[in-house]
């Protein structure tokens, strides 16, 4: 029971430290926030090593070789941990580092106090009636409202006057620095992600500039890597009766297969489902990736969506040439003329078909980009509106006005991925030979004259 209690303390401390680090970084600076997070992690690692050492020394098999090994490993693990703590004390603000170090002990104390309170008669009497419980929750919220310092909410960055501004411009590069700053600030700004946070923290580092320049490519590859790892985990040890992640992936693949079969037919589905299904899952995950904290959706960039559209365009043309042959492909572009009228219209049909094929990647990319980027801007607008509500509500937190639109983003992201996949499937179907459909039900052709 004791070890389980300590495990719950560690999980609670991780959540508390993450929230506190974000709050300190937002209202203070990156250094204090980083110091608090490092202090909390250092303390958790130290407690984990101490727990391992105590268990090894007090367990029934404490005299055996495995217990001695565990105790020795925990003792040796403390040496680099103390060295890292010394470096952190020299590099980071000590006050915030100590506060982070004390975070697990604060959580431990609060959990112990809450255990005593939850088992007391007073707490049982309060929670026995929903009205009394609601009054207690309201009292806690009002107390939190009044205890939050108004200075923190009313702090505004100091804006220097014209003379210091010009002096700063001349010291940092004059008009070039001003142009660069205005270039970064103009236009709609999306939520800060991990790449932009690192770039702002290390603006002069080459790796930071490289990541910032290839930010969209970084998130695209990250989504692909996570999908590959998930697929590997689902398929590395297949079972006849699937469970867990294997069951989830089999349901997803079966649903996509049946969906694409309904469009393209059972005959061609096994060849094209791997490409079309992977395309749909990849776009869907990229659309939803922005809903994770400090992540971004690569499909909110026109570069990514146009690359996806070009990929579909090249694949469709490849399928057309492979299935129809070079002569059949040209015949398809000419509108398959079979009589005098068809040959007379062929010079008109060729440019129409060419323009139609060239318009497909443009329509695919612009539709996906416009919807995902519009959702991002909608979320940013309502988050900003919720923050500006602090001016007249005086609450310790902004209003979560963006919450309903998060569920809308789940729906629209799924719909946009499905639309992209369905249109790509239709484009492939249009390139397949059409004369096969006449031979699928030959008995119907013979039954027709017999009926007459």
Given a cut of 70, is residue 146 above it in pLDDT?
A: no
CB atoms within 10 A of CB 404: 10
Q: Is the pLDDT of residue 367 over 70?
A: yes
For residue 390, the Cα-to-chain-centroid distance in whole angstroms is 28
428 falls in which pLDDT band (50, 70, 90)?
Answer: very high
**Tokens at residue 58, please?**
């007090």
| Whether the model pTM is above 0.85 | no
- Confidence bin at 145 (pLDDT 50/70/90): low
Burial 425-440 (b: 16+ CB within 10 A, else e): bebbbebbeeeeeeee
Query: What is the chain's mean pLDDT, rounded?
Result: 78
Percent of the chain with pLDDT over 70: 82
Residue 317 above 50 pLDDT?
yes
Mean pLDDT of 9-36: 80
Which whole number is the average pLDDT over 395-407?
A: 78
CB atoms within 10 A of CB 220: 22
Whether the Cβ atoms of residue 303 and residue 241 lie closer than 8 Å to each other: no
Which pLDDT score, from 0 to 100, does residue 406 have?
A: 86
Q: Are 386 and 424 in contact (CB under 8 A)?
A: no
**How much is the average pLDDT of 271-295?**
91
The region, left, alpha or beta by phi > 0 then psi within -120 to 50, assigned to residue 64 is beta
pLDDT for position 421: 94
Exposed e or buried b per residue across 88-106, where buried means at least 16 C-beta atoms within 10 angstroms of its C-beta: beeebbeebbebbbebbee
Question: Is the pLDDT reported for residue 232 higher than 60?
Answer: yes
Retrieve residue 200's tokens: 């702002």
3-state helix, strand, coil in the chain (%, to 5): 80, 0, 20
Q: What's the pLDDT band for 449 if we cut at 50, 70, 90?
A: very low
Residue 218: per-residue pLDDT: 92
Q: What is the pLDDT of residue 141?
A: 67
* Predicted local distance difference test score (pLDDT) of residue 299: 92
Which residues are CB-neighbours of 161 under 8 A, at least 6 positions away? none
Q: Which has more pLDDT, 45 or 426?
A: 426
Q: Is the pLDDT of residue 402 over 60?
A: yes
């Amino acid at each position: 029971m004791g070890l389980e209690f300590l495990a719950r303390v560690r999980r609670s401390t991780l959540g508390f430290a993450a929230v506190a680090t974000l709050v300190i970084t937002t209202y203070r600076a990156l250094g204090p926030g980083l110091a608090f997070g490092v202090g909390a992690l250092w303390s958790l690692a130290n407690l984990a090593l101490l727990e391992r050492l105590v268990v090894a020394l007090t367990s029934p098999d404490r005299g055996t070789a495995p217990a001695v090994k565990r105790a020795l490993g925990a003792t040796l693990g403390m040496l680099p941990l103390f060295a890292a703590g010394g470096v952190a004390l020299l590099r980071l603000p000590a006050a915030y580092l100590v506060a982070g170090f004390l975070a697990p002990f604060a959580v431990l104390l609060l959990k112990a106090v809450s255990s005593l309170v939850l088992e007391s008669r007073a707490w049982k009497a309060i929670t026995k009636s929903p009205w009394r419980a609601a009054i207690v929750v309201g009292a806690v919220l009002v107390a939190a409202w009044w205890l939050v310092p108004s200075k923190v909410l009313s702090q505004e960055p100091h804006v220097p006057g014209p003379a210091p501004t010009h002096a700063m411009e001349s010291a940092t590069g004059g008009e070039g620095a001003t142009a660069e700053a205005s270039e970064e600030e103009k236009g709609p700004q999306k939520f800060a992600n991990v790449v932009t946070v690192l770039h702002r923290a290390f603006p002069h580092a080459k790796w930071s500039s490289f990541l910032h320049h290839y930010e969209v490519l970084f998130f695209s590859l990250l989504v692909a890597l996570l999908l590959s790892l998930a697929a590997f985990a689902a398929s590395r040890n297949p079972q006849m009766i699937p469970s867990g992640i294997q069951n989830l992936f089999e349901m997803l693949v079966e649903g996509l297969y049946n969906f694409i079969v309904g469009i393209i037919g059972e005959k061609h589905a096994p060849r094209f489902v791997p490409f079309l299904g992977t395309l749909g899952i990849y776009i869907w995950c990229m659309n939803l990736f922005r809903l994770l904290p400090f992540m971004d959706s690569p499909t909110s960039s026109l570069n990514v969506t146009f690359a996806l559209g070009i990929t579909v365009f090249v694949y469709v043309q490849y399928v057309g040439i492979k299935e129809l042959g070079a002569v059949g492909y040209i015949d398809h572009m000419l509108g398959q003329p079979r009589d005098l009228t068809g040959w007379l219209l062929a010079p008109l049909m060729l440019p129409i078909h060419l323009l139609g094929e060239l318009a497909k990647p443009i329509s695919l990319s612009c539709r996906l980009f416009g919807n995902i980027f519009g959702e991002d801007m909608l979320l940013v607008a309502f988050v900003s509106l919720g923050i500006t509500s602090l001016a007249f509500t005086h609450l310790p937190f902004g209003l979560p006005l963006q919450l309903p639109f998060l569920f809308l983003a789940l729906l629209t992201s799924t719909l946009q991925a499905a639309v992209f996949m369905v249109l790509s499937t239709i484009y492939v179907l249009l390139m397949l030979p059409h004369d096969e459909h006449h031979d699928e039900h030959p008995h119907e052709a013979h039954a027709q004259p017999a009926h007459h």
